[in-house]
Amino acid sequence: MQPTYQNYIAGAFVGTPGEPTIDVTNPATQELLARVPDASAASVDDAVAAARRAQPAWEKLPPIRRAGHLRAIAAKLREHRTELARVIVREQGKVQGLAQVEVDFTADYIDYMAEWARRLEGEVLTSDRPNESIFLLRKPVGVVAGILPWNFPFFLIARKLAPALVTGNTIVIKPSEETPINAFEFARLVAETDLPAGVFNLVGGRGATAGEALVSHPGVDLITFTGSVATGSRIMQTAGRNLTRVNLELGGKAPAIVLADADLDLAAKAIYDSRVINTGQVCNCAERVYVERGVHDALVERLAKLFSATRYGDPSAEADLHMGPLINQAGLDKVAAMVEQARSDGARIVVGGKRAERGRGFHYEPTLITGTRADMDIMRKEIFGPVLPVQAVDGLDEAIALANDSEYGLTSSIFTRSLDSAMRAARELRFGETYVNREHFEAMQGFHAGRRKSGIGGADGKHGLYEFTETHVVYLQTS
């Protein structure tokens, strides 16, 4: 029998009579895995109230003791790393190796944020007045609402929870209705630690129900959301009614520029790895390639070999795969429609180009497309699937202009042996991140942030940590 989970509020799993549930299925097989609550506004009220009650005492706790609680959570994750990875494989369709990396990286990330307990900094400024000092203190914002996506669901718990807690906030998390099981298993492990009740709360539910209740709640001081541009826009509108702060990581359409002097083997492998990871369902994936015309065919030949050799299927049944299924039928239909539109627009399908015959599940063939133009949807809209369009350009000027001609601005990359070209790209590409001669994947000590419709604020490192604080200025006059 499949398990039915309960919301985790004020340190306990609580059921609400009559509250509806959501079926969670395996996207590779469509098998029913579990049921989770579709939390009502009353349940969200309870979770926010629990967080508000717990926050003053949690803030007063010395940061190093807050860090100790985080380290205890990280230790629990490591104790159960194998079974947690198995959960992610089954409910999200992630390949086994990547799921294990996600769990291990999550534990490391929590430990990394715990290390900031002794590094939280304010400032002391000189005053225009005699015998006065000006202090800038960093304080927690209060109660944080963390709304998670489905593509890296386990890691995103840590990306929101760890910096929130170490800086003295409490948190209510709502996972995606597509991949909530891992979050409830996370809560089960938290319940085995001595984290004070109400510091971390978890409610299941759909965006239109639990999500709406959470982002519109007057008891929430900061909303941190990772997901689509459309949902991020709705959250901003709703948050505006209470003037609630928002931190948004949204979509991407990451360009990869390949110049004629590049190491083409390195470029092809890095771009390929950045495209098929998690079946292309990553906001900072390489989503479009601009390659100098003189090496276009050579690069495409290398990419075609890699795409043709891609192993894909059901990750819960096969260990040695490059990618699994798309998350659901809507995702599969969107990818298929975009490829067909590109074909109709005159693009050439080099590899793949259709739904995969893998029995049940939402599988699409790894697909390489050439002959694209800047006005095609495949070069402008986010694909979020294992499809890579390639366009020939006549030099770095054109490549940078086309790369910047986008409503997104999250990540970008360039492949070249020229330091001058790399530095020029770093200066002129209007993106939050630029990778030089490597795959698209951020570091926990960096700062993952986008421009334009890719988001507001950022995550990771010192600057991501301080997104969860506000500044309190103290003017101290002495005699």
Task: Please identify which of the residues 91, 178, 185, 283 carries the catalytic annotation.
Answer: 283
Q: Rounded to whole angstroms, how far apart are CA atoms 11 and 351?
A: 51
Write the DSSP string, 385-453: SSEEEEEEESSHHHHHHHHHSSSEESEEEEE-S-HHHHHHHHHH--SSEEEESS-S---TTS-EE-EET
Q: Which residues contact 340 (CB under 8 A, 6 or more apart)?
A: none
Q: What are the strands, taking DSSP E only, across 1-157?
A: 7-9, 12-14, 21-25, 32-37, 123-126, 132-140, 143-147
Q: Rounded to whole angstroms, how far apart are CA atoms 417 and 395?
A: 14
**Lookup result for tokens 């990581």:** 249
Task: Please identify which of the residues 249, 433, 439, 442 carries the catalytic annotation.
Answer: 249
Structure tokens at 18: 């009559």
Q: Rounded to whole angstroms, how far apart are CA atoms 63 and 119?
A: 10
Phi then psi for residue 363, to 5 deg, are -100, 140
CB 250 within 8 A of CB 236: no
Q: Rounded to whole angstroms, how far apart are CA atoms 86 and 208?
A: 29
Give the number of other CB atoms < 10 A from CB of residue 16: 15
CB 235 within 8 A of CB 215: yes
Q: Which residues contact 169 (CB under 8 A, 6 or more apart)?
A: 55, 58, 59, 140, 141, 142, 143, 144, 221, 222, 468
CB 385 within 8 A of CB 279: yes
Instruction: Verify whether residue 249 is a known catalytic residue.
Output: yes
Amino acid at 343: R
Nearest by Cα to 409 from 244, 248, 270, 225: 248
**Lookup result for tokens 């002097």:** 261
Give the number of other CB atoms < 10 A from CB of residue 262: 22
Instruction: Verify whether residue 407 is a known catalytic residue.
Output: no
Q: Rounded to whole angstroms, how far apart are CA atoms 464 and 235?
A: 20
Active site residues: 249, 283
